[in-house]
């Protein structure tokens, strides 16, 4: 098979691991920088041009679309779908996952528990917003933030109100969420491929840091999920329509709380923490579905 990885950086760990796993299975692996593709849209004749040549003969596609290029990256994935080529992450699921507010609404509608969340249209009644999530401390997140950037912990009500007023003044879209104290700065990342949990790790924020992202200096270790946690993660990925997903959740006194569902989860942290060959699981997923 000829499998294409959509990646703007062929030197990233995840991209290199997918190439390695695919070649090991005897497949021809190529990397396509989706940001440099041209899309020819014509009735019954969708075409993708890359490096002045028409892309042909692809059996399957593994999208690795960065958050900053979601709009165009999704268009490229959609073009492959129009060409009747299997994509490991569907374009519509990618769009859903990148919209934090929409994602939370979908997860809540599916009956999954989340931290209490408030979103408003630059409401001047910031005191009421703080009260709606149970008061301070609370977490304020930029809707466009990734990898822990744009996430602020407000320790008290005055601080929370000041931060919200500042963001409102900048016309920055934010969501306000309750702070789960018992999580103790840790969260769970569950990696799912084709409806099966293939790995799970617990990420712990460094001392004094409530964000557990590995990019922010956090650590990770393999984690054994409870049945409730596994079922919640699988339901979250399914509700978002994702064949490949990284589901982030918190452990709370009322059970697992879903934070978000990532459509392009990195492989480095999960493979190092679990010792599992996650890249090969993704290649097998493509093999099962590509025509």
Domains of the chain: 2-89 (3.40.50.20), 117-179 (3.30.1490.20), 182-263 (3.30.470.20)
Q: Residue 75: enclosing H or E segment and its boundaries?
A: helix 70-82
Handedness of CA 86, 88, 93, 94 (dihedral sign): negative
**Region 142-163 average pLDDT:** 82
The order of strands in the sheet holding 53-54 is 37-40, 47-50, 53-54
Nearest 5°: the CA angle 72, 246, 182 is 130
Q: Look at residues 148, 200, 3 and name the one whose alpha carbon lies nearest to residue 87.
A: 3
Average pLDDT, the chain: 93
pLDDT tens for 109-141 read: 999 999 999 998 888 899 999 999 999 999 998
pLDDT tens for 194-221 read: 999 999 999 987 765 556 555 555 788 9
**Region 236-261 average pLDDT:** 97
**Region 1-5 average pLDDT:** 98
**Region 260-284 average pLDDT:** 96
Q: How far is CA 185 from the centre of its chain?
A: 19
**Region 65-93 average pLDDT:** 96
Q: What is the pLDDT of residue 151?
A: 87
Q: Alpha-carbon distance 288 to 291, whole Å?
A: 9
Q: Alpha-carbon distance 3 to 20, whole Å?
A: 12
CB 98 within 8 A of CB 56: no
Q: Alpha-carbon distance 100 to 82, whole Å?
A: 26
pTM: 0.91
Q: Match 């290649």 to its residue by tokens.
A: 283
Q: Alpha-carbon distance 223 to 171, whole Å?
A: 40
CB 204 within 8 A of CB 183: no
- 49: alpha, beta or left? (left if phi > 0; alpha if psi -120 to 50): beta
Give residues with Cβ within 8 angstroms of 97, minimum separation 6: 103, 240, 242, 245, 261, 262, 263
């Amino acid at each position: 098979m000829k499998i294409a990885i959509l990646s703007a950086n062929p030197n990233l760990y995840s991209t290199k691991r997918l190439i390695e796993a695919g070649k090991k299975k005897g497949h021809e692996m190529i990397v396509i920088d989706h940001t440099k593709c041209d899309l020819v849209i014509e009735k019954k004749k969708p075409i993708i041009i890359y490096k002045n040549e028409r892309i042909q003969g692809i059996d399957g596609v593994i999208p690795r679309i960065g958050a900053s290029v979601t709009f165009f990256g999704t268009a490229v994935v959609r073009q492959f779908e129009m060409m009747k080529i299997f994509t490991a992450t569907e374009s519509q699921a990618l769009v859903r996952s990148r919209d934090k507010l929409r994602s939370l609404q979908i997860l809540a509608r599916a009956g999954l528990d989340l931290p209490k969340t408030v979103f408003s249209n630059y409401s001047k009644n910031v005191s009421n917003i703080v009260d709606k999530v149970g008061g301070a401390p609370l977490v304020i997140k930029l809707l466009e933030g990734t990898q822990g950037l744009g996430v602020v912990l407000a320790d008290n009500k005055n601080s929370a109100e000041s931060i919200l007023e500042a963001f409102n003044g900048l016309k920055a879209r934010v969501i306000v969420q309750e702070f789960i104290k018992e999580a103790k700065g840790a969260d769970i990342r569950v990696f799912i491929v084709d409806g099966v949990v293939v790995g799970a790790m617990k990420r712990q924020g460094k001392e004094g840091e409530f964000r557990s992202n590995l990019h922010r200096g956090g650590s990770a270790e393999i984690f054994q999920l409870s049945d409730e946690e596994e079922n919640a993660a699988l339901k979250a990925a399914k509700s978002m329509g994702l064949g490949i997903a990284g589901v982030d959740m918190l452990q709370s006194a009322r059970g697992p709380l879903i934070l978000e569902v990532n459509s392009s989860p990195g492989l480095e942290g999960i493979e190092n923490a679990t010792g599992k060959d996650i890249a090969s699981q993704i290649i097998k997923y493509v093999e099962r579905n590509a025509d």
